[in-house]
Amino acid sequence: MQRLLLFVLAALLAAPAFSLAQSSDEELIDRATMAAPQRVRGGAGVVRWDANNNRIVVKESENGLVCWDRSDVPGTAPFAVQCSAEANLPRFEQNRMFSYQAADADERRALMAASEEDGTRVLAAFGSVWYSMNGPDQENANRHTTIAVPNATAETVGLPDSRRSDGLWLMQAGTSSAHLMVPGL
């Protein structure tokens, strides 16, 4: 009888913790997937990182897209969520590592440039889309969409490499960070 009573007591004490974890996972899923287009949001996976920067899968992806909240990364807006192809998680994790090593934007760029030069810069999957929402809060966050084209140049993709608002343009041409900017999204 004592064992049964202890078991019931332990179950009752654990129930609120389980409910809280489940609720916070659901909140994280809702928040992180806001960056994804509506038509693919439901099948998107969600990940987070623990205190040791180990990736934790909160929800498995059903469509190859994975989302995360990155508002804990130094130098990032208070509301910052992002989605991309699962293949791009190592690239994001390297960027995340650089952000924790150097909170100053110039120092981060220097770390990225050094890894570019020594060949350790992780490449994004060519043609993969990055969806982001960033701002002071959810209501005032801006959407931002880019398409990764590592090492592409204006000549190789046939697009301009200067800012424009009426069509795609290539940013950071010739680097591992080269990407197509999608205006208005």
Domain-by-domain residue ranges, the chain? 2-148
Task: Summarize pLDDT for 155-180 with one digit per residue, the tens.
Answer: 999 999 998 888 899 999 999 999 99
Residue 9 confidence (pLDDT) above 60: no
Residue in the structure block whose two tokens are 């197509």:
180
- Reduced to 3 states, what is the DSSP secondary structure of residue 121? coil
CA separation for the pair 7, 171 (Å, rounded) = 60
Residue 61 confidence (pLDDT) above 60: yes
Top-ranked range on mean pLDDT: pick from 103-117, 149-163, 171-185: 149-163
Region of poorest pLDDT, from 18-32, 43-57, 79-93: 18-32
pTM of the model: 0.83
Alpha carbon 105 to its chain centroid, in Å, reads 18
CB within 8 Å of 54: residues ≥ 6 apart: none
